[in-house]
Amino acid sequence: MSNARRPLVAGNWKMHGNLQHARELAAGVARGALPGSVDVVVCPPLCQVGAVVEVIAGTPVQLGAQDVAPWVDDGAYTGEVSSLMLKDVGCAYAIVGHSERRGLLGEADADVAQKFVAAQAGGITPILCVGETLDEREAGKSLDVVGAQLQAVIDVAGVSAFANAILAYEPVWAIGTGRTAAAGDAQEVHHHLRCLAGESDATIAGSLRILYGGSVKPGNAAELFAQADIDGGLIGGAALQADDFLAIVQAAANT
């Protein structure tokens, strides 16, 4: 991990748990020994954001949403929540293009790009997820697939937008499966993504934080985060236990 890029560890709680669980989990993270050198973000289900805001107030823990509307201004968009609304309730980040939304809800690259732009327009930093399926990896297409997913957003938002964005490489086959990418394989993809951004702007590419996500646990985080182009993690399952999440944050601080 480069010293120039401050590590970031974000917990994606997905659609898990009730309000009490959210409060306890947020309190467990906020009470932890949080290293000052790492940005720590929790992304609860949207309906629990208000409760989590109260719990983390006055602590270094930051708040993220798991998704954002592709529109910024108020309007007749039933069920949607804009970046301005997220900002208003205390969110600083929003995940866009998570593979579960791409796969289960049919979000295409164009939708993801629109959400990326809308997030920034409302003052929210997007965490853009890219990643290949197992079939794509086995066919040797990983670099092409993730490159195309990133390029689709660069084409719409411009590379300069990545001065205020986070990228996350999340191989679909590693998410929630317990099967983590080998550190060297993940590094290869991260390096490819940075080079791709660098073709448009080397300075922005050099400071772009690229997280790895996919079955990161306390036991494998250090090796992943030690890679030159891995700047932290997007954590699913292990983010649901405060102790595990804090151990991963610590691993980011140690590398």
Q: Which are the catalytic amino acids?
A: 98, 170
* Smallest gap from residue 182 Cβ to ligand PEP (A): 15
* Contact yes or no for 209/5 (Cβ under 8 A): yes
Contacts of residue 182, defined as CB under 8 A and 6 or more positions apart, other chains included, come to: none
Give the helix/strand (H/E) hosting 104.
helix 99-104
List of residues 6+ apart from 61 with CB closer than 8 A? 26, 29, 30, 34, 40, 41, 42
Residue type, 241: Q
State which residue, 26 or 224, has the beta carbon closest to ligand PEP.
224
Locate 14 and state its tokens: 């997905």
Two structure tokens written together for 63: 């708040």
* Footprint on this chain of ligand PEP (rule: CB under 6 A): 12, 14, 170, 175-176, 213-216, 234-238
Q: DSSP letters of 142-197?
A: HHHHHHHHHHHHHHHH-GGGGGG-EEEE--GGGTTTS-PPPHHHHHHHHHHHHHHH
- Name the minimum Å distance from CB 178 to ligand PEP: 8
Distance CA 173, CA 175 (A): 6
Angle, CA of 245, 251 and 252, to the nearest 5° = 95
Give the residue closest to ligand PEP by C-beta.
236
Q: Give min distance, CB of 101 to ligand PEP, in A.
A: 11
Nearer CB in complex with ligand PEP: 96/216: 216
CB of 77 to ligand PEP, least distance (A): 25
Smallest distance from ligand PEP to CB 76, Å: 31
Residue 69 phi, psi dihedral angles, 5° rounding: -70, 150
Using the Cα atoms of residue 42, residue 198, residue 193 and residue 227 in order, give the sign of their dihedral: negative
Q: CA 174, CA 15: separation in Å to the nearest integer?
A: 18
Angle at 80 between CA 62 and CA 60, to 5 degrees: 5
Nearer to ligand PEP by Cβ, of 118 and 238: the residue is: 238
Residue nearer to ligand PEP on the CB measure, 71 or 232: 232
Least CB distance to ligand PEP at residue 180 (A): 8
Choose between 146 and 234: whose C-beta lies nearer to ligand PEP: 234
The residue (of 8 and 159) whose beta carbon lies closer to ligand PEP is 8
